[in-house]
Each structure stands twice: as structure tokens, then as C-alpha cells.
Structure 1
Amino acid sequence: MFGSLRSRLIALLLMLGGMAVGVGWLMILLLRQSESAQLGQATVEAEQACQAIASSYRFYSNGWSGPTAGLADPTLQRSLAGVASVALLRYRGMAGGLWQEQAGILADASPFTLTAAERQHLADLSAATLAEARSLSDSFSADGATVLVAACPLSGPIPDLAAWTLTRLTFAEGSGQRQLKLGLGLLLLAMLAATLLLGRLTWQWSRHVARVERDLGASASHDLPTLALTGERELDQVLTALNQAGQRLAQARSEAQRLTTQVHASERLAVLGRVAAGVAHEIRNPLAAMRLKAENALVGDSGRQQRALDAILLQVTRLDSLLRRLLDLTQPLQLQPTTVELPAFCREVLAGHEDQAVQRGIHLTARVAVEQGYFDRDALGRALDNLLLNALQAAPAASEIRLDASRRGDWLVLAVEDAGQGPPAELRAQLFEPFVTGRPEGTGLGLALVRETARAHGGEARLIEPSVPTRFEILLPCQPC
């Protein structure tokens, strides 16, 4: 569900926070329920105490015709207070008495002094009781305590008389409630501590991971940087292993670079050996022919000497062409790329080989799917000439050779296709190396020049394998080099 350690820690942190809120809310509900239960019990006791005063008053007034000295008589008020006191003996801490509509509080058997607010609430509730002719109870807060008042109407010789009770609640908790609240409080503290600890852990890990990610991203080399430890045991084990892997990678890279240098040196020596052998082979034959002709000319007549000189000049021309091609390979090409119209360029390249193609009955065609290219016109023309010469030598009579220009992604592809068998399989791995050829009369420099021309343009030359017909491709970047 979650993709990273950070997201898992955050999810766990949110769960712990939610549980802590739930436990806190449970404690609030428990406290409220405890207060409600105590208030309900106190209400029942206050109403029972009020009924007890009513019963005591009925017993007191049985057969009594009422006060003769009026309601303000101190003796009457003390007698009525005694009636209330007797009724409240069972109710510890309960205040009570009698209230008359004209006289107000007629009797007070309270163990404490009533406040003005309590007297006012008592009078209002007693008046409401007489008006509704039924028992009533009410509560209100005063000075941080809850005051509960109950009143019930009385019948007897004194009209408009009501009994009242009043108690002050401090919501004392029982031992079971205290233990439950203590347990919930400890659980809440533990969850809050776990939430804080997990939050700190999440923050630290996020900071460490961000630093490691920053250090890895800031490294400009190909080797892994040495990462500083964080102090977190598990994370440091990973970082230590990563540092060791980086050291091994650096050592392996250094060893690979050393071996690559040796391989390149070996390859250069091998290429140099092949070039030297090829040059020696290519020069030996013309030199031997020129020597033979020169020896014959020394002992022959003027006509024979003229023919010998012509043959010698032909071999000198061959050597000069070989040396120029060798120089083209050894010296970097000085390119002058321009925008070239490909249809006209392809027609021009094919036109230079029409005579040879006609002699063998070969049909030259072009398929141009791109209008323009950006390259050195002369250098690429010579490269395509080499590919077409190879195709003309390899293609069977009365076949077709096609010059293809197309675009493949960001590359311009110039290809030559012929119906020949292609180069021998054993030569294909070194086909573009100098002096690698499958024809006894070939120099093996044409394809090497093709590859160097393509690379000078930022591209590559290759033989498509397997391919029927045989297809050589030159890939050039479509944008200017």
C-alpha cells in the first residue's frame, strides 16, 4: 500500500495520533458520564429528601389547625425547622426547609449558609412547583461547584407551602473510576510519547535519506562518493556497505581502464602490423613489375623501352593512388558541411558509375525519401563511390544496384544495396579495417575510408546482417555537426 519507509512511518504516526485523540475523547466522555451519573444520583436523593420533609410535615400538621401568631412567629419557624431537620437526618450534607409564597423561606435546616444565588434559585423553583402542583428539580453552577435544588408542594393548614432541598456537588470519584481514569491517562501519555518518538524518528530518517540522496546526486564523477555516517545503526550498515561497494567499483573501474588501455594498445599494434603488411604487399608487386620492365628495357629496342616506360608509369600511378588513400586514412578529414539537395546529389553519384554499370548490364536506381541533408558533399561522394564500386564488383550481371536515402529517427541513412553474396563471413568482423578485403586485386582501403568519413561527420558505417540483398549503410546526424 505504501511505497517507502518514510510513508510507512508517517502512516504509523497518523495512526498513533488518531488513537491518542480517541483515548483523550474517551476520557472526556467517561468524565462526563461520571458527572452525569453523580448528578442523577444526587437528584434522586434530593427529591427523596424533599418527600421525606413532606412526610414529616404531614405528620406534624395532622390535627393541627394552623398558626395562630402568623407566619413570622419565631416559635413556628423553629418548629418547622425541626420538622425539616428530622426528615434530613438520613441525608448527610443535604440542606432543606420550607418555603411559603408570601413569607419566602419559612424554615431552614441547612448545615451551611445559603448564598444569595442559591436563595434566588430556591425561591424560583418553589414558586414553579406550587404553580405546576408537582415536584421539580434543577441544577446550576456557582463558584466552580454544581448546586442541585429540589422542591415539592405541601398540603396542610399553611397555604402555598412547599418543601425544598439543596445540595452542593463536588463530583467525588469512586476508586474504580479513579483506577480507570488513571489507566486511560497513562495509556494516553504512552501514546503521546510514542507519537512524539515516532515523529522524531520519521523526521531524522527523512533528513538522513535526503542528505544521502543529495550527496549521491551531487557527485560529478562516475564513481560512488564516500557517504558520511548518520548515527543510525541500521542506516549506517547500508551506507557502509554502499561505501565498500563504491570502493570496489572504483577499483574495478581502474582495473578495467588499465585493461582497456592495454587492449587498445594491442589493437593499435595489430592494426599497425596489418597496415605494414598490407603496404608491403601492395608496394612489392608494383616494384617487382617495374624492376622487370626496367630490366627488359635495358636490353630491348626503343619500342620495347617505350612499352616498359608506359608500364612503369602505370605502376607509379597505382602506387601514388595507394599512398593518397593511406594519407586519407591517417590524416583527419577537414570537413566543410553544407546543406545538400539529396535527389540531385544521388543522381550525380550514380552518374559517375553509369558506364561501368552499362558494360555489365547492371541497372542503377535511387530511392530518395529525404529532400535535404547536411554533410561534406565531396567527402560523402567519395564514400558512396567506394560503396558503389564494391557493389559493381560483387553484383551479378543484369541485376540492380540501388542507392537509398531515408530518415530513421534523428539519423540520415544513405545505403547501397546489391544482389551479390556479400563479403565472406570470416571477414565481416574486421570488414572496415584497412587492407581487409576478399578480392585478390583489392586494396582493402575503400570501406576503411567509408567508415572514417562517417565518423568524421559524427555518424557510423555498417553492414546490415543478415540482409538480402547486401546492404551497406552510412548513418549521419540529421542536425549539423
Structure 2
Amino acid sequence: MLRSLRGRLIVLLVLLVCAALASGILMVGLFHQSAAAQLGQAAAENSRACEAIATAYRQVGASPAARVGTSDETALNARLTTLLERSLRGRPAVQGGIWRNATGSLAYAYPTYVGAVQRTAPPDGELPRIRAVNAQAVGGDHTVSRHYGSQSQTLLLAACPLPGPVPNLTAWTMTMTRTFPSHSYYQLMAGLGVLLVTVLAAALLLTHLTMTWSRHVTRIEAALNAYDLAELPVLPATRERELDRIVLALNEAGGRLSVARQRAETLARQMATAERLAAIGRVAAGVAHEIRNPIAAMRLKAESAVAAGPERQPQALAVILGQIERLDALVRRLLSITEHDEPRREPVQVEPFLDACIAEHTDLAAAKGLTFRRDGDLREARFDPNQLQRALDNLVLNAIEAAPAGTRIDVTARQTADAAVFSVLDRGAGPPAHILDHLFEPFVTGRPDGTGLGLSIVREVAEAHGGTARLMRTADGTLFEIVLPWPIS
């Protein structure tokens, strides 16, 4: 599976956003839990303050101050106020009082109030709620708590019954707690803000990194596609450390490739030169061998004629003329190889053409007990009949030399999808293995009496027509083919 750096960066960005969302949800949940805990703590503290007033009242219930009846309201109010201040002094932000269900507030105290003017009466705006909570606590045996919330703070009220000589008395306490926005809320918002800024910065950084890498990779790809792979371009630096390491490696590889290519071209030229020199050497050796034998024969005959007198000279001259004719034939065959005449193509009926080629060699084949068979589905083609006949003559002569007595030689012309194939098949063993690599070169032959020029002429004719000559090993024997492009034009 192919892996993409861009895909990995996108996945990393998604994971970062998910982590930020999860952290935000967790922080909001913790804030709500903290606010609920703060509210519960404040409510418990408010209830304990009310119970502290009730406990203090019970402690003084049997004292003479408690027997102050309704006839001395001022003294009772003073006593109760002192009791309230003593009970609430250690409870910051808690205010409270003594409430009579029939007449209302008997005493009030807010000892921890930090304002410039001391409060001496309950807040008028909260009197309906104070009256309601005290009414619920009258005649009961437990503390009654109520809370009233707003957007930014919560009002907590508690009332507890006061048993004693004065009937229908209750103690009440009240406090305010800020729930939203509080200090923890601002901490939460600050944390969420920092988290949001971090996520945005990370997202921008990842986006910039993804776009930058994509742009550099696209530029490198375009630069590589614009040049031939045999010559890598020099890529510019990207100012990205990791990418520049890759770019540097590619530039160094391009330099090494260029050096290797130049070295390979030099070696190829040297090998081509060596092959040409080797071919020239083989040709020169073949020519020297072919010329030296006739010259030696002519010299021997001339020396014999000079020594024997006039009666031997006609015979010697006849031998010398024969050797001169051999040398002339050799020169003509060499010229047919070196002179690359352009083929004169013309429409040719293939079957009569093959019959004519076979007819020239029927007597020679019959002397060896050989027969011919002409076959194939090619009816007409365009080629130079003189050149192709010379090539087929060499193949037929080679087949006659190689074929065992009493066998058949097949001369075929067939048509394929893109070529016309002329072939000669004999039942002989074929050329020796050690000359197969140079079989179609001049003076390469497997016969002691051969010149090694016949197959080179076949190759030159095939290449002049834009085709090839080849040797095929078959189960029936040795098959030589001349493959010309089809249709031949």
C-alpha cells in the first residue's frame, strides 16, 4: 500500500482537533462539577450557620434573657442581635436573623459585611423569599433550605425552628455565591482560548507544511519529467532540510550517472573501433588467404613452364588464366559486398521467380541426388529481383553443399502479418557452433574450400531491402530465412 505524507499530515491535524475538542469538553465538565461543588459547599455552610444560631438560642433559652416577653421587644431584639453576631462572626458573607411568623424580623445581623455602612435590616428585595422559607420552617423539626439562581450568582436561604418560650420563632441565614462568570470560569475561558490558539497555529503550520512539501515535490517531479533520464537535471534547493537531502542525493546520483554515461559511450566507441578493426583484420586475412593460393599456383606453373621449355607453356598459361579468373570472381564478390546499390524494387510474381532460381541449380543438385520443392502462400511482392536472386543463389548453393545425398531442399516464400519471408531448408547439420556468432560476416565459413562471402552477400541484400537474414534450427534440418518488411514498397 502506498503511503502519502500529505495524508499523514491531514490525519495528524484531525487528531489534534479531536484532542482539542476532547480537552474542551473535559474542561467544561470539570467547570460544571466545580460550580456544583461550590454551590453545595456554600449551601452546607449556610445551613450550618442557621444551625449554629439555633444551638446558641437553645443554650440561652433558660436564662433570664429568654424570659423577656413580648412586652420588652427592644431588649429582646438587642439580646437576639448579640446572639446573631456571635454566631455569624466567623462565617464570611453570611447574614441572618430571627423571624417571628406573625410579626416578621425580630433581629438581624451581618457581622462580616465590609461596606461603609453597617446593615441593620434584611434586604428589602429578599424579604418575600425570607418570609416564605421561614414559614416553611415554623413548626418543623429540621432545617429548610432554598436556593434561587440567576445568570451570574445564586441566593442561598436556610431556616430552622427555634423552640423555646417565644412561640413561632425561626432562625434564618442567607448568603450569595457567584457561579458564572467566576474566577474559575475565566480560567476555563483562558485555557480554552490558549487551546484554540494552539490548535489554530498547529493547523496553519500543518497546512503550510503540507502545501510547501506538495509544491516542492511537484516542482521536483516536473523537473525530472522535463529531462531525459539519461541526463538528470540539477535540482534547485528547497530550503527544507529533509527535502534538500533528497535533492542533494538526486543531484549526486545525476552526476554519477552522467560520468557513467560518458564512460559507457567512450567504452562503446572503443568497442566499436575494436570490432571494426577485428572485422578488417578478418577480411584482410581472408583476402590474403584467397589471393595467396592463386598467386602461388600461378608462380609454380610459370616457373615450371620456364624450366620445361615452350612445350609446357600453353598448359601453364591455361592454368594461370584459370587462377586469374578465380581472382576476378573473388574481387567481384568483394565488390558486391562493399558496393551498397539501392534496390530497384518492382512487382514480382513470386512463384515464377522461385522456379527460375531453382532451375539454375537443378543439374548440380541432381548430380548429388538432391531434389527441390517450392512451397508458400506469397503470390506477389515488390523487391529487386536481381539482388534477391543473388542472395537466394548463395543460400541454395550452401544447401546443396550441406545436404546429405538423396534428401530434399525446400525453397519457400510465405507471408506473415508484417513481413515476407523467403527461406531455404536443407537436411544437413548446419554450420559449426564456433562460427555462429559471426556467421554472416565476410570470410567466415565452415568449409575448407569456401570463401565465406555467400552469407555476407545474403545479409547485405536483406538489409538493403530494410530486412534481416537469420539462421533457424528446426527439427527437419537447417533453415536460412530472408525476412523483408511487408508490404514491400
Distance 1:375 1:105 in 2: 133
Pick the aligned partner of 1:147 from 154, 160, 169. Answer: 154
Say if 2:439 is the partner of 1:421.
no
Say if 2:457 is the partner of 1:460.
no
Query: Residues 112-131 of structure 1: matches in 2 within 5 Å?
Result: none
> Are residues 332 and 227 of structure 1, via their aligned partners in 2, closer, same or farther at CA, if it must alter by over 3 Å?
farther
Corresponding residue for residue 279 of structure 2: 271
The unaligned stretches of length 5 or more in structure 2 are none
Q: Is the 8 A contact 1:275 1:434 kept in 2?
A: yes
The structure with the larger Rg is: 2
Pick the aligned partner of 2:354 from 346, 349, 353. Answer: 349
Corresponding residue for residue 178 of structure 2: 169
Corresponding residue for residue 93 of structure 1: 93
Corresponding residue for residue 46 of structure 1: 43
Distance 1:400 1:87 in 2: 139
Query: Residues 277-316 of structure 1: matches in 2 within 5 Å?
Result: 278=286
Q: Is the 8 A contact 1:49 1:88 kept in 2?
A: no
Query: Residues 22-421 of structure 1: matches in 2 within 5 Å?
Result: 22-23=19-20, 25-46=22-43, 49=46, 53=50, 91-94=91-94, 140-142=149-151, 145-147=152-154, 149=156, 165=174, 167-170=176-179, 203-220=211-228, 222-232=230-240, 235-236=243-244, 239-275=247-283, 278=286, 319=328, 323=332, 326-327=335-336, 329-334=338-343, 336=345, 345=350, 348-349=353-354, 352-353=357-358, 355=362, 360-364=369-373, 366=375, 376=383, 378=385, 382-402=390-410, 403=412, 405=414, 415-421=423-429
> Are residues 48 and 228 of structure 1, via their aligned partners in 2, closer, same or farther at CA, if it must alter by over 3 Å?
closer
Distance 2:210 2:403 in 1: 73
Q: Number of aligned pairs?
A: 447
Corresponding residue for residue 72 of structure 1: none
Structure 2 letter corresponding to 1:29: L
Q: Give me the TM-score of the superposition, normalised by structure 2.
A: 0.62
Q: Is the 8 A contact 1:46 1:167 kept in 2?
A: no
Distance 2:8 2:46 in 1: 56
Q: Is the 8 A contact 2:234 2:254 kept in 1?
A: yes
Distance 2:371 2:127 in 1: 128
Pick the aligned partner of 1:449 from 450, 457, 463. Answer: 457
Q: Is the 8 A contact 2:346 2:382 kept in 1?
A: yes
Structure 1 letter corresponding to 2:26: L
CA-based RMSD of the aligned residues comes to 6.3
Shift of residue 420, structure 1, vs aligned partner: 0.9
> Are residues 358 and 105 of structure 1, via their aligned partners in 2, closer, same or farther at CA, if it must alter by over 3 Å?
farther
> Are residues 394 and 48 of structure 1, via their aligned partners in 2, closer, same or farther at CA, if it must alter by over 3 Å?
same
Structure 2 letter corresponding to 1:364: R
Q: Is the 8 A contact 1:57 1:83 kept in 2?
A: no
Q: Is the 8 A contact 1:457 1:476 kept in 2?
A: yes
Shift of residue 155, structure 1, vs aligned partner: 11
Corresponding residue for residue 71 of structure 1: none
> Are residues 262 and 468 of structure 1, via their aligned partners in 2, closer, same or farther at CA, if it must alter by over 3 Å?
farther
Shift of residue 419, structure 1, vs aligned partner: 1.9
Deviation track 1:189-231 (CA, whole Å, cap 9, x = no partner) reads 8888777666655555544444333333222472333333444
Shift of residue 245, structure 1, vs aligned partner: 4.4
> Are residues 451 and 46 of structure 1, via their aligned partners in 2, closer, same or farther at CA, if it must alter by over 3 Å?
same
Shift of residue 398, structure 1, vs aligned partner: 2.9
Shift of residue 247, structure 1, vs aligned partner: 3.5
Structure 1 letter corresponding to 2:454: G
- What secondary structure is seen at the aligned counterpart in 2 of 1:437? coil
- What secondary structure is seen at the aligned counterpart in 2 of 1:352? helix
Distance 2:237 2:159 in 1: 80
Q: Is the 8 A contact 2:381 2:487 kept in 1?
A: yes
Deviation track 1:359-387 (CA, whole Å, cap 9, x = no partner) reads 6333536466xx79986364556544533
- What secondary structure is seen at the aligned counterpart in 1 of 2:38? helix
Distance 1:374 1:422 in 2: 29
Q: Is the 8 A contact 1:98 1:162 kept in 2?
A: yes
Structure 1 letter corresponding to 2:154: V
> Are residues 135 and 11 of structure 1, via their aligned partners in 2, closer, same or farther at CA, if it must alter by over 3 Å?
farther
Distance 2:91 2:286 in 1: 129
Q: Is the 8 A contact 1:329 1:449 kept in 2?
A: no
Percent identity of paired positions between Structure 1 and Structure 2:
36
> Are residues 38 and 76 of structure 1, via their aligned partners in 2, closer, same or farther at CA, if it must alter by over 3 Å?
farther
- What secondary structure is seen at the aligned counterpart in 2 of 1:353? helix
- What secondary structure is seen at the aligned counterpart in 1 of 2:223? helix
Distance 1:194 1:476 in 2: 70
Structure 1 letter corresponding to 2:339: T
Distance 1:314 1:48 in 2: 141
Q: Give me the TM-score of the superposition, normalised by structure 1.
A: 0.62
Q: Is the 8 A contact 1:49 1:165 kept in 2?
A: yes
Shift of residue 432, structure 1, vs aligned partner: 0.8
> Are residues 273 and 362 of structure 1, via their aligned partners in 2, closer, same or farther at CA, if it must alter by over 3 Å?
same
> Are residues 151 and 243 of structure 1, via their aligned partners in 2, closer, same or farther at CA, if it must alter by over 3 Å?
same
